[in-house]
Structures are given as structure tokens and as C-alpha cells.
Structure 1
Amino acid sequence: MNENKEPDGNPWMKSLLIWLGVVVALILFVSMFDSRARTTAADGIAYSEFLQRVDEGSVKEVAIAPDMVSGKFTNDTSFRAMAPADPTLVSRLSAKGVKFSAQPKDEPSFWMILLYQSLPFLLILGIAFFVLRQMQKGSGSGAMGFGKSKAKMLTEKHGKVTFDDVAGIDEAREELQEIVDFLKDPTKFARLGGKIPKGALLVGSPGTGKTLLARAIAGEANVPFFTISGSDFVEMFVGVGASRVRDMFEQAKKNAPCIVFIDEIDAVGRHRGAGLGNGNDEREQTLNQLLVEMDGFEANEGIIIIAATNRPDVLDPALLRPGRFDRQVVVPRPDIEGREKILAVHMKKLPLAPDVDSRTIARGTPGFSGADLANLANEAALLAARKGKRLVAMQEFEEAKDKVMMGAERKSMVMTEDEKKATAYHEAGHALVSLHVDGCDPLHKVTIIPRGRALGVTWNLPERDRFSMSMKQMKARLALCFGGRIAEQLIYGKDALNTGASNDIQQATDMARSMVMEYGMSEKLGWLRYRDNQDEVFLGHSVARSQTVSEETARLIDSEVRRLIEEAEGAARKVLTDNLHELHRLAEALLEYETLNGEEAKRAIAGEDLGRDEGDKSRPAPLVSGGSSIPKTRRPKGGFGDPSPQGA
């Protein structure tokens, strides 16, 4: 790939020459105005001294100017003196026999007058030009060149990426392999009359590898790769974005065949007419120019536009029609096979201990994106380095999963015995409900060690990747929400309730409301989707007023939500009341060991020995089974694992 270079040589030497020119101009300007004063000061004498020398007879000859006299003394030395209007001078010179003559006034030439008057303005303009050029040099545009494209050409020195570096998204790779084949051999498609899609839109959640996939296409095809962000087009001046789009395509034509990658295209490609007022003229003009360049009267052959976005629903329909971004490639979160391949890519750079199994880690991380897995491997390496180890073991990966999802352990946080005991019963209540209510995910881990903003955490995680949830599973999670609050109520009474269950109540309420208003899980309300009156939006052609609910429907929704909450509360209360002795055993085990995994929690409920060493009671046994996972969403406050379905 070729790299764009400045044709003017060394930019440091160029700047030095400009500064030297400015200094020389300043010196010349000052010297021109000060020349007469310096000349007079060099050999000038006072007029009174001149008259005295005339009277003494030591003056040989004199040249009389309107405001100056000059000449030579009898010893042939020159003199000069500023002279006032003196009518007696000629008679005094004649009386002493001095040879004298008259000189006209020294008038500057036309060119000198022009230079005197224009030099200050030229100097000011030159300095302003230089300052503007330096201010805009970093953005890739010269002085007053706001319309120049900010697209950067990616070269091999930045690190060549191929499909071997992209794992876990095989379907997306197959979709884009056709573009690579076209860039390598365009005649293969032209012989049969086929035309390659002009644009490919990569759609996926943050961190799934859209940008990496675009770089891999350029690396495989070995063609120039221009990259730019959607926000780089838009400026405060109307028309600048459209000019930058034109300039970007001009650069691409010179390097065709090539790839132009626009990241976060929703910044410039949003639905036209969706804004309030006329503050979006610049963005809409930029979008219009992009539409014309991609599929207008002038065909841009050999230029492949690849764009990435997390919000395809807000893009303008004209951008997605055939001839422009007519191929949408979904880049999903990887499944277990994909996660294993991604982990293998990132683990190649780490010195691993023999007990590290990428398959086990992959089974324990459903919902993780490629960026999440890269962060997981990096955190494990940092933890091993902090401990002074030479190899990264499975224990570091387990601790890294906990840290990535829930934050670091707050070991410095001091809790009273009463608070610690209340937290133990709260988390034991969550764990016990998950073990007895049919439909709950398997118990992964329960701890009373504060992490992030949570005083304790209970993780219930699915056995495999999940893409939807049944009504039975959602009701089980509703019951799981109230396990902690009901456990505290049974042990301490209603008057001792605290604020620790606020996040549990919020999650339960949101889930029950979604079941009624979005998922059609209420017989009274039917299979309709309802919207709160407060959820009116301004994106689109009109406000969605037809989806708001009446007062009567709102009361029915509230009653159905309350019914689901009360049923879940009753189910959790029955489990804890019938198994109160198990609640005490599990809470006592948590107070002793602080952290238990799922199998240890079951043994503690049964009254069995957990089998830990005396010096390592605070660390749970490592999990080697594949029946655990980590939720995607962090929980800000205490309770249990994320209730939202993975991939829903």
C-alpha cells in the first residue's frame, strides 16, 4: 500500500525557513524606518558647533539642504548637521571664503513609498497565514482548507490484519469473502456480468469486531484501506461535510481499487427530517452528498464502502437501498465455539499454565463479545503479574471473570458483624430460592465479599447460550428477586428491613412490566404491545401517540404487574419458610467461608464438609465443569445475577 506524503520535504525545515523569513522581514522593516536617524547619528555635529567652526575658518566646503548642511573641514573630514532656517548662513560663509552649494530636498522614490506603506500589511497577512496553517495542519487540511477529507490511509506499518486474526464470526466472514475475491480478481465477476455490491453495512453490538473485520478484508485483499469516523464529516459550517465527502471519494478514485471504511455511520446517516428545527442542515447535506457519491450519475468503480453501526434502525432508508449499502452483514456475539476460537487468538500472546482450558472459559462466558474476551485475557495476565507469577493459571481467569463483571473486591471496606450477618442471610435467600424453584438457572457462585457497589452477590447463570426466555423462567427469576428481602424478613422481622433490596425490587418491577406490556404474557391484556405515556419519542416522521395507553388500560397494567409480583413473592416465601433450616446452614457457611460456588452451596445446605484447607477458607474450589457462565450486564447493587435473557 502506498502512503500519502507531503511533497515539500522535511516539514521541520520548512517551518524553520518560514520563521526565518518572518524575522528578516521584521528586521528590514525596522531598519528602513530607522535608517535616517542612524545615518545622522553616525557623523553628525551640532549646528552651533558648525557655526563656530565656520567663524574659525576651519570649514572647507558646505552643501546646503533645506533642513541639513554637510561638507568637509579643512582637514578633509566630513561632517553633517541638522540646520534650522538661518538667513545669515550664506553671508557668513561668503565672508569666510567657504565654498558652498545648494542641494534639493531628498524625496523618496515611488517604489520606496509603496514599500513603506504596504510592508506592514504584508507582514500581518503573512503571520496570519502561517498561524492558520499551523492550526489546521494536524487535521490534514491546509489553511482555509476545511473541506479536505480527514480519511487516513491504513498501511502495513500499523499492523496487517487478516481473517486468521478474526474468529467467532464465521458467517460474517463468508459474507465478506466475496468482496475480497472481487478486489483480488475483478474480471472473474465481470465475465458473467455480475457487479459487486458497492457497500456493506456491518451491524452488531459494541465490541463484536466490526472494525477488526473491515481491516481484515483490506489485509486479505492487499488494497489501500481508508478509514474515517462518521463524526469527522460534520462541522459547524454548512457544506463542509459535503465537501469532505467529495474529497474522500476523489482520494479513493486515485487509489482504486480500494476500501473506504466509515465507522459509526449513524453520526451522519440518520433519518432525514427526524430532527427538531433546522439545526441539522449540515448533517443532511453531508448525507445527501454521500448518497450521490455512492450511487449517482458518475459511477465510482473499484471503491468498496464498508460502514459499521450499532444502530441500523436510525439510518435513512435511502442509505440502505440496493446500489448503496445493499448488503447488511450482522456481526453477532459469538457462540461457545466462537468464544473458544477468540480466546485462542488472545491466549497466544500469554504464557499459560497447564491447567488453563479455553473450552471451560468459553462455556463459562456466554454473552461475551470479542472485546470482552480480550479484556478478560488481559485482566488475567495483569492479575498473574501482580502476584509475581511467571504463568497465567486458571485461577487468574476465574478471578478476572469476577472482576470484569462485578468489579474488584473491596477488601478495605469494613462491615459490622450485624451488617455482615444480614448480607449473608440476604444472599442465602437468593441462593436457596434458585435451588428450589423450577425454572431458575443453576447457581454459579454466592459471596458476601463487597464488589463494586454491591455488598454481596449471588450469580445464577445459564448452562448454555440463551436467545429467549419462557414465561416459566421469567416467573422463576421474579421469585429469585425477592428471596433476599423475604429471608431478612423471616429472620429479623418486618421492622428490621433495610435498603439493600432496592435493586432487586427494581429488576423485578421492570421484568414484570415487560412481561405485561411487551411480551404479551398477560391474559387480560392479550398479545398487544403497550407503551408508557412518558415514552413518546421524536425520532421518525411523527410522534408515536397511537401507542400510548388510556387511564383504564394503565390501571389494568398496574394490576397485572402487581399480580405477577405478589405471585413471585408468595413462591419465594413458601420456599424459604419450608426450608428455614437450610437457610440457616447456608448463611452460617457464608459467614465462615465468605464465598461459595454452586456445588459448595449444595453441600453446605446438606450439612457436609466443604473440604477446604484451613489456610484457604476464603477461596472457593475452582470450577472445572462447563455448567456455569457469566451474565453480560453488570449489576450495580447487591442480589443475584442479571435477569435479562442472553441475546434477547
Structure 2
Amino acid sequence: MKPSIRRLLFAFLIIAALIALIVTLYLTMRPTEIYYSGNSGSLESMLKAGEVEELSVSGTYSVSIKKVGDKNFKYTANIPSRAIFEEDLYRWAEEIAAENPEVAQKIIDTNIQYNDPSRGTWITSLLPIALYAILFIVFMLIIRRANGANSQAMNFGKTNANQVRDIKVRFSDVAGAEEEKQELQEIVDFLKHPKKYMDIGARIPRGVLLVGPPGTGKTLFAKAVAGEANVPFFSISGSDFVEMFVGVGASRVRDLFDQAKKNMPCIIFIDEIDAVGRQRGAGLGGGNDEREQTLNQLLVQMDGFEAESSIIVMAATNRVDILDPALMRPGRFDRQIFVNIPDVKGREEIFKVHSRNKPLADEVNFKSLARLTAGFTGADIENLLNEAAILAAREDRKLINMKDISEAINKVMAGPAKKSRVVTESDKRITAYHESGHAIVAKLMKHCDNVHEVSIIPRGQAAGYTITLPDNDDNHMTRGKLLDNIAMLLAGRAAEELVIQDISTGASNDIQRASQLARKMVTEWGMSDEIGNMYLGASEEVFLGRDYQTQLNYSDAVAAKIDEEVKKILDMQYQVALDILKNNRDIMDAMVKVLFEKETIYEDEINALFGEKPSDEPTLFSSKLNRGEEPAKEDPKQEEPKQEQNKDEESTPNPQE
């Protein structure tokens, strides 16, 4: 309901209640002298004269009579109420009982007819009470609304941090980051035993900044610290400080720290602190910007702690590069703890933690799962197991098996399968050759990841997919690996050109990813012979306004040279992929034939096409596990695959972003 309509309805209810009150008062406060007086005299006198044969009471306040010997006589009079009228009849009879007992007895024996004697009585009596109750409720609503508006205005500058005292999360609930646990354990020990640090003159870190990619468990670490130390935990997002009114954010910062001082020792956790802690003077606004005032107040509060303050400020961000330097200096955020993506051992521990409340089949192997999920964060693994549990429940099974986890990996990486989508034979043929091109080049290139699954079943926005996963976690990407990955990405387009003699839009994402890799090789990683070891990447500033009137840090001639080098890399690797597919056309045709039959082929079936002996043990991506069948045997007459010899142009490893 619109506010204007609500206000009109509210006013209408008030006016109606007032009118009802006036009418009620008018009806209930009539003068008493008109009672028992009608158009032909007094009712009392007619009763005492013995002229009344029958009485008829209508409603609550009206009476009419039937006169003795006169059927046409009409008389109506008002009475105070039925109860009072009956009392008056007996009183009048008593008054004349001594003089005329016969008439007195006649008054008592008078036939009284009541019209609707029950309903009219209690409804009419209840009406004034109901009207007064309605008026009281309306009045209380008005008062409550006024108080609510005043309270909201007064509390506008108060913090809306969520305070939690009894936190159940412990360090045992956080897996895959043992070194980070050790650093945070010192914070827990300080909150439990601050005196031993102060006695020796040690200054405990006042702030701890948790840095890392999304989903690595930064917020979970903060909760675990509070849970282990058993102290109050104030949680708030950085965006909760900033409002449209100048000064509100600073007021909320002050109120947050005031509450924290009343609950010492405690932890203040600011999630996504980059929303309020961005570098000052970077945008198009001035010094009176609300965000900057909020940051200034935060800096003052963090540096204004008393020497013996037991307040620890923890914050989380994945954009530490844009934070204000004053926020990062010692005395504010003394420590930066980088929570990285877990390695294979960490992923195995995370699988164990998130599977505590999930019944797993005996075949589920955490070590194998950890090896096949390189690059997965803790949040990814939790979501993966949750999807697997949903798949098992959908089929009314009590245990989660490896097939569920395999399907969950596909769903997380490529999206849900769309088996009901109608696909023409032409589109299916293009998709089959496209995905076969990816798989064959990835299989034969030296530095590409292992091919685990190829499918022409649409998932998400893709018409098909090829899953390649690394065997281990690589901290560095060599030049040879990057070039091989570019060739693998472009192999789908090369297969289309080779077989169909045409190209489609299915390679748009592949071309985009390959171009990004090639450009970073040239501009950021110094892997171009022409450009050399020079960084020419665009700087990621805090705001667009920072570069409002600035120029690129290289000339137009260098920009043209960069484009030439990027195109050179793409063309060279496209030709590499095309040559491999030409030399292994028979394997590609065989793979397409199997894809048309089964729609999805797994690791052992792919290896069989290349003449490799399948493993006896079923793996996560094997036909034994996913289809419950034996893989196709290799043809003994099939020629050995002609692998294109890729030049191993290793260069000095460069750190990733």
C-alpha cells in the first residue's frame, strides 16, 4: 500500500471513530425528564388508573401500550432501560397498593411483550465500550509511530554491529591453514592471558588484517579466534559504516568502539574493509567525502587505544592493494595474514572437516579428491560436498558415493546438465569435434593438465565441455605451460576449421581466455622477446577518477608492438594446435564417434583411444565409476598417435599475480 493511501485511510478511521463517539454520547446522555412521557400523557398515570392492558418493549429504550377497551389507541414513550423500567413498575404498584390493591396487582400482572430481548441489550451495551477501545488503539498507534520515528532518528548514528558472545567455532573447524592458525593462536593467548605480555613489555598487535582470495576462510578464522578466546565478537561489514548523510559513518565508528570498551576483552571484526578503507584522495570527491570522514575516525579510534586495551581489531579483504597506507602502518593493522588457496594436503583436511555430518560410502577417497580439486577453496569444497549430498538425497540414497561427487564437480565447474535440450545433429557434430580438439591437444601437449572428461551434453551456457585438472599445485606458470594452454584453448576452433571447413561462435570464450593469457605474457610477465623484461600492464587504481587526466605509461608505438606480439603468440599456438589435429585426425574421428554414442567419455576411455592401458582401479573420472561398465578396448591395429614435438621454451619462472 502506498504511503499516501495509508495516511488517508488512517485519517478516515480517526474521523469515523470520532463521529461514532459523538453519536454514542448523544444517544446515552438524553435528559431523564422525557422518560415515561408520550403523546397522550404520562405512562405512570395511565398505569395507576388501570387503563393499560398490555405493554410492548421495543429494543432497549422504547415502550408502547395497549389501552383497555380501545384497540386504536397508540402510545409510545421512552424508558431509561429495561431493567430500570421493570423496577419502576413494581415501585408504582407499591405506591398505590394501600389505596387501590386491585390496580396495584393489575400493574404487576400486566402482560409485557419484549421484542428481541437479548440481542439488542448486550450489543447496544457493548457498542460504547468497543468505540472507546478503538479510539484507544488508534491513539496508541499514533504515539508508537511518533516514538518510533524519534527513536530511529536518535539511533541513526548508532552502530548496527552484530554482537555474539557464545561462538561455537574453534580452530578444529578450520582446516588447510596450519601456519595461519599458529599466528592467530598468539592473539588468542593474549586475550586469555594479557598480563604476561604486558609484564615483559611486549605490545600485542592491535589489528590483524586477513588477506586472501574469496572463500578461503577469512571470516571463519576471525570467528575461530573469538571462539577459542571465549570473548565477545562484534561483527560488521565495511559498507555498514557509510551512509548518504555526512557524519553518520564516523558516529557509528565511535559508537562501535565505545561498545567494545564496555565489553573488554573483545574482538571487532570488519568484513570487506576495503569498502571503507580505500585510499584517501583517490576519487573525484573532496575531503568532505563521507567515506573519508569515516576512515579518518577509524584511524583515530585504532590509534587511540589505551596502552592496556584488550580490544583486537580484525578485518578481512581481498583487495589489500587499494587500502589506505595509514591504515596499514604498525600500530593499527600490525599484522597481515595471507590466507591462500589450500594445497593438496589442506584440501584433504578440508574434505574431512566438511564431511563430518555427511554419510559417505566406503569408496570415497579424500586423498584422491584433494588431488583432483586443485584451485578449490574451502568454500568451493563445502559447496561441492553439499551438491553431492543433494544429488544423493534426490535419488533416495543414504550414502554419498564417488559418482555423486563426480557429478557435483561437473555441476560446480560447468553448471547443471541440460539433457533435455534439443540439439540438432549439425550442432552436435560441431560440438563433438570442438571438444575433441581440446582433448587431443591437451593430451599430447607436454605441459597441459590431464584430460579427465569430455562431453557434448550442454551445461550452463556451454554446448559441451572438456575437464582438465592438474595433478599438483603449481605456484609458478612457466612459459612453456602458458603456450601449451593457449594452444589447447585454440584447439576447438582449429578442429572446426580442419573438419567442417568453417568456424562457429562456440570458441568465443576460448579466444578471450587465450588472448588474456597472451597479453599478460607480453605486458606483465616479460615473456616476449621483442618487448623484453618490461612491465606494461595497466595499474588497477582505487577509482576511475585517479586516471581521469593521465596517460598510459607507454607510447602508441609500443602499444602497437604489444598487439603484434599478442597476435604472434596466438597465431603461432593456433598453428601448433592445427598441426597436432592434422597428424591425429584418426583419433579425433574415433573420439567423435564415441561421443555420438555415449555423449560423455571419461579418463579411461580417452586413454584407450590413445592406446594406453586402462587402470584397474576406478578413479573419480572413470567409466567404471560413472557408468558401471568396462572401458572400450584399444584397437591393436591402431597406429600410435603422432605427437607434435613442442619446443620446450622454458623461461625463468615469474610469480603470478
Question: TM-score per shorter chain, which class?
Answer: 0.7 to 0.9
Counterpart position of 2:646: none
Distance 2:149 2:412 in 1: 41
CA contact (8 A) 2:211 2:218 kept: yes
1:42 and 2:31 matched = yes
Give distance in 2, aligned partners of 1:593 and 1:236: 58
TM-score (structure 1 length as normaliser): 0.73
Cα 1:377–1:532 change in 2 (3 A) is closer
Once the two structures are TM-superposed, the CA of residue 346 in structure 1 deviates from its matched residue by 1.0
Tell me if structure 1 keeps the 8 A contact 2:520–2:537: no
Taking the aligned partners of 2:483 and 2:460, their CA distance within structure 1 comes to 28
Aligned to 1:263: 271
Residues 133, 284 of structure 1: CA spacing in aligned structure 2 closer, same or farther, 3 A cutoff? farther
Looking at structure 2, the residues matched to 215 and 548 of structure 1 have their Cα atoms a distance apart, in angstroms, of 44
CA distance in 2, matches of 1:168, 1:611: 31
1:500 Cα deviation after fit: 1.4
Task: Tell me the distance in 1 between the aligned counterparts of 2:655 and 2:600.
Answer: 25
Deviations 1:578-633 (A, max 9, x none): 12212211211222222222332121243989999xxx89945799xxxxxxxxxx
SS in structure 1 of the partner of residue 155 of structure 2: coil
Q: Provide the rounded CA distance (Å) in 2 between the counterparts of 1:39 and 1:574.
A: 105
Q: Give secondary structure in 2 for the equivalent of 1:577.
A: helix
Q: Distance in 1 between matches of 2:615 and 2:217?
A: 42
Q: Deviations over 1:205-256 (max 9, x none)?
A: 1111111111111111111111111122222221111111111111111111
SS in 1 for 2:459: coil
Q: In the alignment, is residue 404 of structure 1 matched against residue 393 of structure 2?
A: no
The corresponding residue for 2:179 is: 171
In the alignment, structure 1 residue 130 sits paired with structure 2 residue 138: no
> Is 1:503–2:509 an aligned residue pair?
yes
**Structure 1 residue 134 displacement after superposition:** 4.0
Q: CA deviation at 1:188?
A: 1.2
Paired-residue identity, %: 50
| Gap change, CA 1:611 and 1:269, over 3 Å in 2 | closer
TM alignment of 1:20-35, pairs within 5 A: none
For 1:277, which of 271, 285, 297 is the aligned residue?
Answer: 285
The residue type equivalent to 1:251 in the other structure is Q
SS of 1:545 mapped into structure 2: coil
Gaps of 5+ in 2: 1-13, 39-136, 618-622, 631-653
Distance 1:125 1:545, change over 3 A: farther
Match 2:568 to one of 557, 563, 585: 563
SS of the residue corresponding to residue 345 of structure 1 reads helix
Shift of the 38–449 alpha-carbon distance from structure 1 to 2, 3 Å rule, reads closer
Counterpart of 1:369 (choices 358, 365, 377) is 377
Rounded to whole Å, the distance in 2 between the matches of 1:126 and 1:546 is 65
Q: 2:245 and 2:303 mapped to 1: Cα distance?
A: 25
> Which residue does 1:311 correspond to in 2?
319
* Alignment pair present for 1:326 and 2:334: yes
1:292 offset after TM fit, Å?
Answer: 1.1
- The residue identity in structure 2 corresponding to 1:595 is T
Instruction: Work out whether 1:224 is the aligned partner of 2:238.
Output: no
TM-score norm. by structure 2 comes to: 0.72
Coordinate RMSD, CA, aligned: 3.7
Q: Distance in 2 between matches of 1:560 and 1:289?
A: 49
Report the CA distance shift for 1:30/1:484 in structure 2 as closer, same or farther (over 3 A): closer
Tell me, in whole angstroms, the C-alpha distance in 1 between the residues paired with 2:542 and 2:173: 41
1:466 and 2:474 matched: yes
Quick one: which of 236, 244, 255 aligns to 2:252?
A: 244
Deviation of 1:178 after TM superposition, in Å, equals 0.7
Residue 135 of structure 1: how far off its partner (Å)? 6.3
**1:190-218 superposed Cα distances (whole Å, 9 cap, x missing partner):** 11011211111111111111111111111
Alignment partners' CA distance in 1, 2:181 and 2:542: 36
In structure 1, distance between residues paired with 2:181 and 2:629? 36
1:102-121 equivalent positions in 2, closer than 5 A = none
CA distance in 1, matches of 2:426, 2:536: 44
Q: 1:99 aligns to what?
A: none
Kept in 2: contact 1:271–1:540 (CA 8 A): no
Tell me, what secondary structure is at the counterpart of 1:519? coil
Unmatched tracts of structure 1, length 5 or more: 1-24, 50-122, 624-644
Counterpart of 2:569 in structure 1: which amino acid?
L
Q: In 2, Cα distance between the equivalents of 1:154 and 1:340?
A: 31
**1:445 matched to 2:459:** no
Q: For 2:509 and 2:629, locate their aligned partners in 1 and report how far apart those are by CA, in whole Å.
A: 29
Deviation of residue 26 (structure 1)? 11
Worse-matched range after superposition: 375-384 or 221-230: 221-230
Q: Aligned ranges for residues 228-627 of structure 1 at < 5 Å?
A: 228-278=236-286, 281-296=289-304, 301-493=309-501, 496-531=502-537, 538=543, 545=550, 547-606=552-611, 619=626
- Of 122, 140, 155 in structure 2, the residue corresponding to residue 145 of structure 1 is 155
Query: Structure 2 vs 1, CA of residues 358 and 622 (structure 1 numbering), >3 Å: closer, same or farther?
Result: farther
**Equivalent residues of 1:427, 1:458 under 8 A apart:** yes
- Larger gyration radius, structure 1 or structure 2: 2
User: Closer, same or farther in 2 for the Cα pair 1:236/1:304, shift >3 Å?
Assistant: same
Amino acid at match of 1:312: V
Q: How far apart are the structure 1 equivalents of 2:625 and 2:335? A: 53
One-letter amino acid of the counterpart of residue 398, structure 1: S
For 1:591 and 1:617, the matched residues in 2 are separated by 19
Question: Counterpart in 2 of 1:206?
Answer: 214
Query: 1:389: how far off?
Result: 0.8
Q: 1:360-409, CA deviations, whole angstroms, 9 ceiling, x for partnerless residues?
A: 11111111111111101111111111111111111111111111111111
- 1:446 and 1:132, CA in 2 relative to 1: closer, same or farther beyond 3 A? farther
Distance 1:482 1:527, change over 3 A: same
Higher RCO (CA 8 Å, separation ≥ 6 residues): 1
Deviations 1:155-180 (A, max 9, x none): 32xx5111111111111111111110
Instruction: Give the AA of the match of 2:157.
Output: G
Once the two structures are TM-superposed, the CA of residue 296 in structure 1 deviates from its matched residue by: 2.4
User: How much does 1:460 deviate?
Assistant: 2.2
One-letter code aligned to 1:359: K
Distance 1:477 1:31, change over 3 A: closer
Mapped contact 2:283–2:546 kept (Cα < 8 A): no
Opposite residue 445 of structure 2, the aligned amino acid is: V
Distance 1:252 1:438, change over 3 A: same
Q: State the SS of the aligned residue for 2:168.
A: coil
404 and 276 in structure 1: CA distance in 2 versus 1, 3 angstrom threshold: same
Q: How does 1:147-162 map to 2 (within 5 A)?
A: 147-156=157-166, 160-162=168-170
Residues 373 and 30 of structure 1: CA distance in aligned 2, closer, same or farther (over 3 Å): same
Q: Distance in 2 between matches of 1:259 and 1:218?
A: 7
What amino acid is aligned across from residue 591 of structure 2 in structure 1? L
Q: 1:53-107, CA deviations, whole angstroms, 9 ceiling, x for partnerless residues?
A: xxxxxxxxxxxxxxxxxxxxxxxxxxxxxxxxxxxxxxxxxxxxxxxxxxxxxxx
Aligned to 1:374, the other structure's residue is in SS state: helix
Superposed CA deviations along residues 37-64 of structure 1, whole A, max 9, x for unmatched, are 679743588xxx9xxxxxxxxxxxxxxx
Distance 1:154 1:283, change over 3 A: same
